[in-house]
Chain A
Amino acid sequence: MKRSLVLGLFMVFVLTSGVFVIAQSDNEATVEIDVETEAEVEVMTESHGAEMRLLQLERRINRAILHMEEIIQFLKDKNKTITELEPIVAEMNILLEEVKAAPKTKSEESVKVFVEIKADAKDLIKQFRDISKALLSEEDKRELKMKFDNIDKTKLEEVKRRIEEKRRMLNADRAKKVLDRMNVSDEELIAKIRSGEVGSSQLKLRLLERYDGLDVSAKESIRIRMKEQFEQRRDTVVDHVKRVKEEHLERQSDRLKERADKLRREGYRVASEKVSVAAEKLKIRATTKVDAEVNAGVTG
């Protein structure tokens, strides 16, 4: 009785561990495209939207770098070891360069770059958070929070201003299309959206007022046309996301290789080697994947 119980429990343990290992290795092979990210790339099917998202990413990375630098300085002042943290900031700075250099038009490439850089930035921030957690007390965190409030945010404010501008342009374009579908022309409203006089909440209300004033058949016609447009955008997004996943291993390997070179040039030898090894592993997996696909094609 006891023996069968122990054996049974052992089998449960082995099987569940196996499932976890398989699931884990699958996750490592694909880029993180969560529901949130998928929703974010939807506006990237329009040029102003693509530019807005990339600027948002630039701003968030910049903000994280400023906070990381503040934490490192704080820990240095307390004579704590920061050797593991500095290369992470160096990698974040490389990501910042990459996002600034990204194509700012509605394109598959800008979506790929956004998804890849966002996933890398989230990962680096998590690494930094995990390491710094052990080095910071609750008191330190309170002190840091006050320091963060006093950081020079000029760069962030400038990018924020550009983000707002892109959002206004995007909303103006979209509002114009909605009005066109209602057979209405309102250049004054469009100009006010562009200048920022009419914000997004107010704009929604204005458009809803117009929509509510339509008769049932006009509403139905608009609903059908908008459904078509939604589906078109969704198809584009699904297609882009699919390609990001397909090409992830190869692209990520190339990106990491470049990053390893940059880190080495900046004097982060250990971090450079670590990134280089990761790049090499991805390259091998990409080659194996291609070989497997070719073999499947031959046998299939």
Chain B
Amino acid sequence: MGMLNKIIMILVLVVVVVGVFYMMSDSDGTEKTSNDQKYGSGVADTGSQDVENEIVADEDDIDLGEVYS
């Protein structure tokens, strides 16, 4: 029984540590970049999408957040 508890404890520890590392890698920019999303793995799916992507939309703006929430 004692040994079983130790094994469970080690497993919990491993899961938590792996989980935390996984979350960290999500937030530190190792995820797909915008260019990956935009161009896919190097290229957009179709030529018509490429043509569309060339044009900058009117609503394209930058976001700095609001001064009060």
Contacts and interface: CB of A to CB of B under 8 A. Distances in A.
Contacts of B64: 60-61, 64, 118, 121-122, 125
A4 B48 contact: no
A170 interface: yes
Interface string B10-42: 001100110011001000110111110111001
Interface stretch (A171-179, A253-261, A280-288): A171-179
Contacts of B9: 4-5, 8
A223 B50 contact: yes
Nearest to A22: B24
- The A contact surface, by secondary structure, is helix
Contact of A23 (B24, B37, B61, B68): B24
A5 B2 CA distance: 11
Counting chain B residues whose Cβ lies within 8 A of the other chain, the interface size class is 35 or more
Given A174-B54, A227-B42, A38 B48 contact: no
B48 A125 contact: no
B54 A175 contact: yes
A136 B63 CA distance: 23
Interface of B: 2, 5-6, 9, 12-13, 16-17, 20-21, 24, 28-29, 31-35, 37-39, 42-44, 46-48, 50-58, 60-69
Interface of A: 1, 4-5, 8, 11-12, 15-16, 19-20, 23, 26-27, 33-36, 38-40, 42-43, 49, 52-53, 56-57, 60-61, 64, 67-68, 71, 118, 121-122, 125-126, 128-129, 132-133, 136, 141, 144, 167, 170-171, 174-175, 177-178, 199-201, 203-204, 207-208, 211-212, 219-220, 222-223, 226-227, 230-231, 234, 237-238
